[in-house]
Structure 1
C-alpha cells in the first residue's frame, strides 16, 4: 500500500483487501516483479496448469463413462471457478496500466476537505457501506473456501483414526498419473497440491472482484458529490474573459449537423460576452463540468477493463450456483451438503455485489441530470441555460458497467441470474430423478 500513501486513508483503505489477495497470487498493480517474484510466478503457473489439466482429464472420464452424473455435478462448478480465476488473472495482468490509471486519477480527485455537510454525510455512508460489504464478502468467501478444502481432510482423519475406515478423501476430483492413496505421504503431498492450486486461483478470482467493486463504489461516491455541486452551482453574470467549454462538454455529446454547429458556435471563445460562474457559496460551473467529464472518462475506462470479465461472470454464474445447489440437495453425507451449500452462497455474493454497485454507479451518474434540472438555471442567461441542457442530455446516458459493452448490469441482472439458475436447477433434478 506504499504507492497509495499520498492519497487519503479513507480512499486507500478499501484497496487493502484486493491488493492483499492479488499479492498472494503474485500479481501487483504497481510494483514490478523482482527475480524472486518471477520464480514464484513460474511455480504458481506450474501448479495452475497441472491442476487444471487434471480437471480436464477428469472431464474426459465423464464422457467416456468412467465417472457418473454425480461426479460431473461435483466436478463442473470447481472447473468453472478455476477457469474464472485464471481468466480474471489474465484480465487484470493485461490491463495493469489501465487499472493503475483509474486508481491514480480517482485518488487525485478524491477530496477530504472543502465539502459540505451533505457531501460529507453521503461520502461517509458510501464508505461505510463499501467497507462493510467488503468485510462480509471477504470473510464469507475465505471461510467457505477453507471449509471446502479442509473438511475432506478432517473427515479422512476421523474415518481412519476413530471409525477405523481405510478411506482417503480429496477436496477435488482430479485425475492423476499415479496412485494418490498409496500411502499417507503421497496422500498429503497430493492434498497440498490440490489445495494450494485452487486456493490461489480463488485468490485471483476474489482479488479482481474486490478491485472492480471498490473502483465502482469510489466512482459512484464521486458522482454523488458531483450531484451536490451541480445542485448548488448558482449562476451569476460577470464581465470577464470567456473560458471555453468546448473541451468540457461539447466533445462528449452527439448532435445532428445543425445542433453541432450551434454548439460549436456557443463554445467558441469570445471575450466580448458575459460568462456564468458560481457565486461565493457554490462551486464554479466550469469546475463541475471538468469533474463530470473526468468521471465519465474513468467510468468508460473501468468498463473497458472489466466488460469481458463481467460477461463470463454472468455466463458461468448460473451453472456454478445450479450445480453447487444440486450437489447440496443430493449430498451423501452432511459435510458434503454443508460444503456445497457454502459454495452456493459464495457464488451468489460476487454476482450480487457486482450488480448492486453497478446499479449505484448508474444511478449516481444519471442523478447528475436531476441535480442540473433543480439547479437555479432560470436565473442565468441563455448561455448558462444551454450549458445546463447539455449536462442534462449527457447525464441521461448513465455511466455503467456492461456485459461485453452490450447489456447494462443492474440489480435486474441479478434477478435474471437467479431465475435462470432456478430453471437449470429444476432441470438437473428432473434429469437425476429419471
Structure 2
C-alpha cells in the first residue's frame, strides 16, 4: 500500500516506528525521546517568554506573533497522542492493506482505482511543496530582513522566526546566528515531522478508505444479477466489505477524534493572528511572510477537511450505486439485501471532531468565519488601543 509510505517514513525519521523494527528499536527510542525533549524545550521557551514580557521588552506585535506560534506548539504536543495510539494506527493500516486491491477483474475498475490514487498523490505533493515553501519563507525571511536593515541602519534588533526566551544574553552576531540556526532546525523538524506528518497520516488513511468505498460502488453498480447462488454470494461479499469499511471509519474517528477537535478549536486563532500581522505590519517582507503563513494554514485546514467531505459523499454514494444495480431482476432475498444497503447508506460516514462536529466543507467555512470574526475584533482593539508597532 504505497500511499502510506511517506507519512510512515517521516515519523520514522523522529523514531516513531509503527511496525516495531526489532533491529532498530533502541535507536528509534532514543530518537523519539530526543524529539520530545526538543518539542517541550521549545514549548517551555515560549511559555517563559510570555512570563517575562517586561524583561524582554516585547511589544503588542511581538505578542501577536508569539500567540499563534504557541498554539501551533500546543497542537504538536496534543498530536503526540499518535505515539500512545500507534498500535491502533498499525492495526488500522494493516486492515486497510487487507482490503487493498492487488488485481482487477476489469480494465474499467483498474482505471477507477488508479485515477483516484493519482488525484490523491497530486494533491498531497502540491500541499507538501506549499508546506515546504511556507516553512522556508517563515524560517529564513527574518534573518534576511535583519541583514538588509543592518546594512541600512547599523543599530538593528535581532529578528527571529519564533519568540523564545533565552537565559544567555545575545550580544554578538555569532550568538545570534547560532540561536537562529537552532530555531530553524527545531522549528522545521517539529512542523514537518509532527504537525504536518500527523495531518498527512489522517488524510492518507481517510483517502484510502474513500478509494475502497469508490471501488465498492463500482462492484455494486456492475454486479451480475441473476437467479442463483453466485450472485447472492457476490452481494454478501460486498456487504461484508462495506461493514469492514464502516468499522474502519469508526476506528479513524477513535484514533484521531481528539486531534481533529484540537485542529477545529485552534485553527481560527492561528489564522486570525497571522492575518492580523499581515494587515498591521508595515514592512513588505514581513507582510509577505505573514500572508504566506496565513495561506499555508488555510490550505492545511482545507487539506484535512476535503477527505472528510469526500468520505461523507462516497459513503452515501453506496446507496446510489446499489439502486443503479439491476436489483429489480433478482430474487426476493437479493432485493432485501439491496434495500438494507440503501437504508444503511442513508447515514454517511463522517470524520468527527469527537462529538463536537464533523470535518467537512461546512467546518472549513465555519473556521474561516470564526477567524474573520476574531480578526475584526483584534484589529478593532489594536486600532482603539493605540499600541505601538
**TM-score normalized by the length of structure 1:** 0.82
8 Å contact from structure 1 (residues 86, 205) kept in 2: no
Runs of 5+ unmatched residues, structure 2: 385-389
1:121 aligns with 2:111: yes
Question: Using the alignment, how far apart are the partners of 1:359 and 1:432 within structure 2?
Answer: 37
- 8 A Cα contact 1:18 1:206, kept in partner: no
Report the structure, 1 or 2, having the larger helix content. Answer: 2
Structure 1: which 5+ runs fail to align? Answer: 1-10, 239-275
Which residue is 2:132 aligned to? Answer: 142
Q: Distance in 2 between matches of 1:111 and 1:35?
A: 35
Deviations 1:170-199 (A, max 9, x none): 2111112221x2223322222222222222
Could you tell me which of 3, 8, 11 is aligned with 1:22? 11
Q: Which residue of 2 aligns with 1:189?
A: 178
Paired position in structure 1 for 2:344: 394
Q: Which residue number corresponds to residue 403 of structure 1?
A: 353
The change in CA–CA distance for 1:318 and 1:406 in structure 2 (over 3 A counts) is closer
> For residue 387 of structure 2, what is the aligned residue in structure 1?
none
What corresponds to 2:300 in structure 1? 350
| Residues 1:363 and 2:313 aligned together | yes
Q: 1:353 to 1:305 in 2, by over 3 A?
A: same
Q: Is the 8 A contact 2:104 2:110 kept in 1?
A: no
Deviation per CA, 1:208-260, whole angstroms, max 9, x where unpaired?
1111111111111110110111122233333xxxxxxxxxxxxxxxxxxxxxx
- TM-score between the two structures when normalised by the length of structure 2: 0.91
SS at match of 1:27: coil
**CA displacement 1:329-381 (0-9 Å, x = unmatched):** 11131221111111101111121111111111111111111111222222222
Which has the greater radius of gyration?
Answer: 1
Aligned equivalents of 2:268 and 2:317: distance in 1? 32
Give the superposition deviation at 1:389. Answer: 1.5
Is residue 56 of structure 1 aligned with residue 47 of structure 2?
yes
The separation in 2 between residues aligned to 1:353 and 1:423, in whole angstroms, is: 22
Shift of 1:42: 3.0
Q: Distance in 1 between matches of 2:16 and 2:174?
A: 32
Are 1:277 and 2:230 an aligned pair?
yes
Aligned pair 1:300/2:269, yes or no? no
- Determine the structure 2 residue equivalent to 1:46: 37
* Residue aligned with 2:230, SS: strand
Q: Matched residues in 2 for 1:116 and 1:62: separation?
A: 66
**Counterparts in 2 of 1:4-19, with a 5 A limit?**
11-12=1-2, 14-19=3-8
Q: Is 1:326 equivalent to 2:276 in the alignment?
A: yes
**SS at 1:114's partner residue?**
coil
